Structure 1
Amino acid sequence: MVTSTPPSLPASGLSASGSLTIDLGALARNWRAAHEASGTARASAVIKADGYGLGAVEVARTLAKAGCRDFFVALPSEGIAVRSVAPDAAIYVLNGPMAGHVDAMADAGLIPVLNGPEQLALWAQAGDRHGRPLAASMMLDTGMNRLGFDEAALDALAPDALQGIDLRLVLSHLACADDPSADMNIVQRARFNRMRSRLPDVEASLCNSAGIFLGPDYHYELTRPGVCLYGGSPFIAEPAPFHHVVTVGAEVVQLRRVPAGETIGYGATFTAASDMRTATIAAGYADGIFRAAGNRGFAAINGVRVPYVGRVSMDLVVLDVTALPDGAVRPGDQAEVLGPTISVDDLAQASGTIGYEVLTSLGSRYERRYIAADFSQF
């Protein structure tokens, strides 16, 4: 097990009251599952936002050992960090080349996703400075209307526009892959086929996590699993068919007996209907437990789900532990905020959001622990 502590914690060695444990073996198994589900395509790994909040360097190191050879990040700085542990991987930068960063990207061997004519010109100029065409990929906008070349921009390219580019991949992004019945999936695939036929014959990528399960017509040569690697569900209102990766524990600070008629928390949004016992844990919205989960979320103690009562505070959440036997929980015990009983998607649903946001919002105050993958078991 590798343990790291965020630099914001006191240098005296005082530990955080909460822990965030990342099971790298589960992460590797999830990538293998996504790779196998990709059929004849190979699976990459989307590790932007610091590996969805879990540490991009540790994630990349593990997945490279598992066999992943293609990584996607959002920013050049993320790609440069990943390059240190994946020296031979193809590392794609989704936001593309940015002024002031192009030479550093080229020196690190990063592959930008070119999202428009301006970025294409910027990268071609960098190639001129380096004396060779630099590797790149192109985003085709097939309906997201967010980034990429739409059909008009593609048609407007000069015949020699790509001569200064070593084009390796064309890609697009599905807007509704989490709903397999959505007509938008079919529309986007047809647009993607039409648009990429106007470009050099290179590898193609369309699938995100959910898109992999739309079938082989969507796989092309490369798939791009993201949230499923980290144990989140890519589907609407369906549990994740993957191993849970993240366990978050928070220390019980105090136990209380709350008489009937008393209120709990800011705004007095919860009133005890009868005498009850509560446990206050040392985590709150500063640690990624959204305020919206107040009176809706659950933690777990000894594998038993216990509800949040009252609003989530910055540093504290109150749990109703009346259903537990007296003495079953004591100050200093750990409550499960996320883990085998409370999934990323459980917390997301209680918060009115998605698992992606839960993962990327986990705060810096947890003591982070990495459980190393045992590749002899693969």
Structure 2
Amino acid sequence: MPDTANPDSIDLDELIDEFDTAPARLTIDLGALADNWREMARSSGSARTAAVVKADAYGLGLEDCGTVLYKAGARDFFVAVVQEGVTLRTYAPDARIYVLSGVWPGQEALFYEHGLVPVLASEEQLAFWMSVTAEHGDHPCALQIDTGFNRLGLGLDEAIAFADDVSRPASFSPVLVLSHLQSGDTPNSPANEQQLQAFRRVAEAFEGIECSLSASAGIFLGPDYHFDLTRPGIAVYGGEAVNGVPNPMKPVATAEARIIQIRDAKQGETVSYGGTHRLTRDSRLAIVSAGYADGYMRALSGSGVPLRQTQGEGAFGFIAGHKVPVVGRITMDLTIFDVTDVPQNAIAAGDYIELFGHNIPLDDVARAGGTIGYELLTSLGLRYERRYIYPDD
């Protein structure tokens, strides 16, 4: 025990739990993450199930999330850029790691050294990679095919012609052919069936090579869309994958912000920049230490932003069993919640308001800001103190 009578003997690190005193904090339930991945694997039927960990595992931490997903059984991973693949290799030693942005001159050594698989999406990348393998030896790659998204990928006719090209080098070894659904989150969209039929043509052309079409939403479309490998992303992190249906996934991330001050304000007074919210009753306001610099975006404001002209309510927080609305404009470091309806003795300065988590679903908050859960998660700032709850905790 420290000698509190002698200030010079006190080790402040022993007295302060940074998570318990942080202005903003993020709890990441890695047990829920693993359970969500297992649920997506079960829903994928006979297809093998990868884990998409791009964008720092959707903002939740590549090292910790990658480690837990690997322990849960994932042996195929998708990252966006080569640096993410290099980092992940430490935590997934024998996994196959696909790099969705492909490969560019100067990066090829990293792919060989760390056993990464480039996802080639253009004639230029194909030509470059074939020259690399001709010089340095066989190394696996994947092919991205555009089946109606008009994003990355070889065109359908290009891909089929390439499949039939007997002149391509023997050292060129695609291990996966993949495409991506543009409307998988809308089950009744005719685009899904159109892309499925186009991808079936690709799969036939590349007979003997594994195929992958579905991310999270596509998995829920059923077995026809599963092929050999599925690629769940947002569902693993607890977000909604399909529009208009209840979300079956467990929440993974809980964001909270600390109340700095609770203040009384009179009916008729205004709140925050521009005075865009005028109080209609005597109110109690909780000012919390998170704002748009923490990814709690300005569009979530209760008033004073263009979105409120077409969508009535802003975001809500949760404290002491009550949903509490954001009032006025969210600022860089601060957000104001109306806590008038929360019993006065139930909360105090220093308590935390949940921004999203078990009580305020991630995607409900995102909708209040006119966006999606993907953006909210990947926009989380650096100021959150993080606590990871591992499956065996």
Q: TM-score range by the shorter chain?
A: over 0.9
RMSD (CA atoms): 1.5
- Give the letter for the 2:83 counterpart: S
8 Å contact 2:213–2:225 — kept in the other structure? yes
SS of the equivalent of 1:197 reads helix
1:107 and 1:124 mapped to 2: Cα distance?
A: 18
Give runs of aligned pairs for residues 12-27 of structure 1, distance below 5 A. 16-27=22-33
Provide the rounded CA distance (Å) in 1 between the counterparts of 2:347 and 2:90.
44
Given candidates 144, 151, 159, the residue that maps to 1:154 is: 159
Provide the identity percentage. 47
SS at match of 1:370: strand
In structure 1, the residue matched to 2:199 is 192
2:140 pairs, out of 113, 125, 135, with: 135
Contact kept? 2:66, 2:92, Cα under 8 Å = yes
Q: Offset of 1:239 from its aligned partner? A: 3.5
Structure 2 residue corresponding to 1:355, chosen from 373, 383, 390: 373
Decide which of 288, 291, 305 is 1:281's aligned counterpart: 288
Counterpart of 1:346, as a letter, is: D
1:51 corresponds to 2:57: yes
Aligned to 2:386: 368
| Residue 123 (structure 1) shift | 1.5
Instruction: Determine if the alignment matches structure 1 residue 79 to structure 2 residue 97.
Output: no
Q: CA deviation at 1:160?
A: 2.1
Residue 205 of structure 2: SS of its match in structure 1? coil
Give 1:193 shift: 0.8
Deviation sequence 1:333-359 (CA, Å, 0-9, x none): 011111110111011011000000000
- Of residues 356, 360, 364, the one that matches 1:346 is 364
Query: Per-residue deviation at 1:72?
Result: 0.3
Partners of 2:170 and 2:275 lie apart in 1 by 66
- What amino acid is the match of 1:47? V
Superposed displacement of residue 240, structure 1: 1.9
TM-score w.r.t. the length of structure 1 is: 0.93
Are the structure 2 counterparts of residues 13 and 241 from structure 1 closer, same or farther at C-alpha, using a change threshold of 3 Å? closer
Question: How far apart are the structure 1 equivalents of 2:273 and 2:266?
Answer: 17
Alignment of 1:66-215 (within 5 A): 66-130=72-136, 132-155=137-160, 157=162, 158-161=165-168, 163-215=170-222
Deviation at residue 162 of structure 1 after TM alignment: 5.4
Q: Is the 8 A contact 1:22 1:371 kept in 2?
A: yes
Per-residue deviation, 1:156: 5.0
1:36 — aligned with what? 42
Of residues 319, 344, 347, the one that matches 1:301 is 319
Q: CA deviation at 1:247?
A: 0.8
C-alpha deviation, 1:200, in angstroms:
4.2
Provide the rounded CA distance (Å) in 2 between the counterparts of 1:167 and 1:372: 36
Native 8 Å contact 1:124 1:133 kept in 2: no
In the TM superposition, structure 1's runs of 4+ consecutive aligned residues that sit over 6 Å from their partners are: none
CA deviation profile, 1:100-127 (whole Å, cap 9, x unmatched) = 1111112110011110121112222222
Relative to the length of structure 2, the TM-score reads 0.90
Q: Is the 8 A contact 1:206 1:220 kept in 2?
A: yes
Instruction: Supply the AA of the counterpart residue of 1:238.
Output: V
Q: Secondary structure at the match of 1:71?
A: strand
Asked if the contact 2:160–2:202 (Cα under 8 Å) also holds between the matched residues in 1, the reply is no
Classify 1:277/1:107 alpha carbon distance in 2 versus 1 (closer, same or farther; 3 Å): same
For the pair shown, which has the larger CA radius of gyration, 1 or 2?
2
Long gaps (5+) in structure 1: 1-11
